[in-house]
Amino acid sequence: MIFKKKLLGVGILVAIGATSAAWATTGYAPHGTGLKAKGMGGVGIALPQDAIAGGSNPAGMVWVGNRVDFGVDLFRPIRDAEFSNTSWLDVSDPFNPVPFGNGDGSFMDGKFDGSETKLFLIPEFGYNRMVSDTMSLGVSVFGNGGMNTDYDTPIPLFGTSEAGIDLMQLFVVPTLSLKLNENHSIGIGINLAAQAFEANGLENFTGASTSPDNVTNNGHDFSYGAGVRIGWTGKVAPGVTLGATYQTRTWMTEFDDYEGLFAEGGDFDVPSNWGLGIAVEATPKLTLAFDYMRINYSEVDSVGNAYANFFMCMSDPSYCLGGDNGPGFGWEDQNVYKLGAAYQYSDKLTLRGGFTYGTEVIPSSEVLFNVLAPATVQKHLSLGATWKLDNDAELTFAYMHAFEEEVSGSYFAGGPVMPDGNGGTPTAFAGETKIKMHQDSIGVAYGWKF
């Protein structure tokens, strides 16, 4: 059974393109699904454009007709962390920490480059077939999200080996879409999900875990699960289309090799989300679209639980790493706003552009743990184009830049669960941490109608 699980895991890595996923554009989710959508700010709830549209709203698939799409995105995230003003504290009395000796913890300070690996390939695929004039069956395959940090040196506060995490999520979404009449459609998709995860360089956290052997340096582990997404689109006026979509929580199997790191014994479900969209044909050549999406990160304990849960670990083991109330990344729910435009420049060329804004997911109080997951970017600018070829084929290009954002905050790490200092005195560290990231991606897709 273990061999079969590992063999299937290798297949997942191949399917994702053997990419260490670093797709943190809106939290750890992509800013859009499909390169046409990515080229215009990620909009797609009310504007299906290809066979990957089922990843945004399954109701749109019945409007794209018979088609196949392949694409790949080259993604370049640059992520960094900095520790400063670190002090070494005596916490014999946890409620009244005082400097230990001279209190000098400067050996913990420094700037750390989390981008030892800089380039990642993210593939996508879609297929849709009209089985009647009013019904389509399709499948959309895409990277639903992920996060990667790859520090080139150990982070002293975390451990003795090179630190980092690698999270990948792949979605395969079979869809059924039905036209209710000439203006309205509904759709349903089954989210078949696979995840891969690895953590390294977290040796100092094993003493605060319910399962110390399953915190770090265990290679990639794999998780599988399923959920449901539903949607609706409706042409409510000439040239005006509305859309709505809802995705349930995707329930995943646990990461057994990291049951001592993630809350609830290695649980890492995919959070639910919902969204609304509008597309307007402003002129015969210009289409404008706007989407709003809500991603409920806080409902998944391993993502939403606060770092401060650490401080109750000694009195209640359920608050230790891996426990039912174990600490997470402390992420807040995210509101995402997407605005895009498509201009039919000629019979063969369509030009696109867009802007995406996501509210901050990492509060300043949660910066320390998020050195591993610095999802700081909020503003994204994107450009795209599609060139029609012969025989109903087309080439699509898309570029995205996520502007650099940083989050900083103070931290207190340790307490009685930390290793003892000189003379057996319990010690901890306090200081300031800053994380930042910016991103670029460029992609190409080939599709055709049949």
The DSSP letter of residue 214 is: G
Tokens of 421: 């200092």
Domain ranges of the chain: 2-449
Which CATH code is given to the segment(s) 2-449?
Answer: 2.40.160.60
Structure tokens at 35: 């390169």
Over 70: is that where the pLDDT of 46 sits?
yes
CA–CA distance, 51 with 43 (Å, rounded to integer): 15
Compute the mean pLDDT over every residue in the chain, rounded to the nearest whole number.
90
Tokens 């401060």, residue located:
308
Q: What is the pLDDT of residue 100?
A: 66
Who contacts 71 (Cβ-Cβ below 8 Å, separation ≥6)? Answer: 34, 35, 52, 123, 124, 125, 396, 443, 444, 445, 446
**150 beta partners:** 115, 164
Q: How confident is the model at residue 397 (pLDDT cuts 50, 70, 90)?
A: very high
Residues 6+ apart with CB under 8 A from 257: 214, 218, 219, 221, 266
Say how far apart CA 175 and CA 173 lie, in whole Å. Answer: 6
Residue 343 predicted with pLDDT over 80:
yes
Alpha-carbon gap, residue 396 to 74, rounded angstroms? 14
Report the alpha-carbon distance of residue 187 to residue 175 in Å, rounded: 7
Res 428: pLDDT: 76
Please determine, for residue 19, whether its predicted confidence score (pLDDT) is greater than 60.
no
pLDDT at residue 24 in the model: 61
Strands 379-388 and 349-358: antiparallel
Is pLDDT larger for residue 19 or for residue 331?
331
Answer with the residue of higher pLDDT: 139 or 90: 139
Secondary structure of residue 361 in the 3-state scheme: coil
Q: What is the distance between the alpha carbons of residues 309 and 304, in angstroms, rounded to a whole number?
A: 11
pLDDT of residue 56 exceeding 80:
yes
Residue corresponding to tokens 């689109």? 233
What's residue 23's pLDDT?
Answer: 53
Q: How many CA atoms lie within 13 A of 394 on its CB side?
A: 22
Tokens of 302: 């391993």
Residue by residue, DSSP assigns 239-251 as TEEEEEEEE--BE
C-alpha closest to that of 51 among 136, 131, 146: 136
pLDDT in tens, 145-183: 788 999 999 998 899 999 999 999 999 999 999 999 999
Instruction: Summarize the confidence of residues 247-275 as an average pLDDT.
Output: 97
Rg (CA), the chain: 23
**pTM score of the predicted model:** 0.91
Question: What integer pLDDT is reported at residue 302 of this predicted model?
Answer: 96
Residue 104 has what pLDDT? Answer: 73
156 vs 441: CA distance, rounded Å: 32
Please classify residue 132 by burial: count the beta carbons closer than 10 Å to its beta carbon, then call 0-12 exposed, 13-18 middle and 19+ buried.
Answer: exposed
DSSP state of 29: B
How confident is residue 144, by pLDDT bands cut at 50, 70 and 90? confident
| Contact predicate 247/272, CB 8 Å | yes
